[in-house]
Amino acid sequence: MRFVDTNVLLYAISRDPGEAAKATQANEILAGRDIGLSVQVLQEFYVQSTRVSRPDPISHEQAAGLIEAWRRFPVQETTVEVMVAALATSRRFGISYWDAAIIEACRSLGGAVVISEDLDTGTDYDGIRVENPFMVAT
C-alpha cells in the first residue's frame, strides 16, 4: 500500500496551469487501488483546499464531497497509538510531529511507502520509504 500525503490531494484539484503536470500525476496516483490515507491528511486537505487565500479555493460542499469519495480508500484514524509512535519517530529522526504522524499512519495501515513532496524522497523511516513523484514534474 502507498500512503498519500495531503499535497497529492491538493495537486489533484489544482487548476493552476503551472501545476498541470503535477495534477495529472496526482490523479494517476489516486486512480490506483493501493492507496491509504489518514484522518489527518483529510483534515489538512479540507483546511487547505477551502482556504480563502488559496488561488483556487473550492467550496465546503466540494471538499466534503471529495473527502467522501476518498473514503473508498483505507483511512487510518488518529489514535493514541499512532500519536505515541509519531512522537517517538519525530524525536528519533528529527522531523516534525505532523510528518511523523503521516509515517506512523502509513505503518498502522500496513503500508511501505509514503507519497509526499514534504519529506526527503528515498529516506527510509524504519521500513517506511518516502517517494516524491513530483520531483521531475513541472
* Per-residue model confidence as pLDDT tens for the chain (138 residues): 999 999 999 999 999 999 999 999 999 999 998 999 999 999 999 999 999 999 889 999 999 999 999 999 999 999 999 999 999 999 999 999 999 999 999 999 999 999 999 898 999 999 999 999 998 644
Are the C-beta atoms of 4 and 29 separated by less than 8 Å? Answer: yes
- 41 occurs within a structural domain: yes
Query: What pLDDT is recorded for position 135?
Result: 85
Residue 138, pLDDT score: 43
Domain-located, residue 30: yes
Q: How many domains does the chain have?
A: 1
Whether 14 is covered by a domain: the verdict is yes
Q: What is the C-alpha to C-alpha distance for residues 47 and 93, in angstroms, rounded to an integer?
A: 27
Would you state the pLDDT for residue 17?
Answer: 93
Report strand pairing: 2-4 vs 35-38.
Answer: parallel
Contact of 119 with 99, CB cutoff 8 Å: yes
Q: For residue 137, what pLDDT is reported? A: 44
CA nearest to 9, candidates 36, 38, 30: 30
Residue 137 lies in a domain: no
Q: What is the model's pLDDT at position 120? A: 87
CATH of the domain at 46: 3.40.50.1010
* Residue 8 belongs to domain spanning: 2-131
Residue 138 falls inside a structural domain: no
Domain assignment present for residue 118? The answer is yes
Do the domain assignments include residue 49? yes
In a domain, 136, yes or no: no
In this structure, the number of other CB atoms found within 10 A of the CB of residue 85 comes to 19
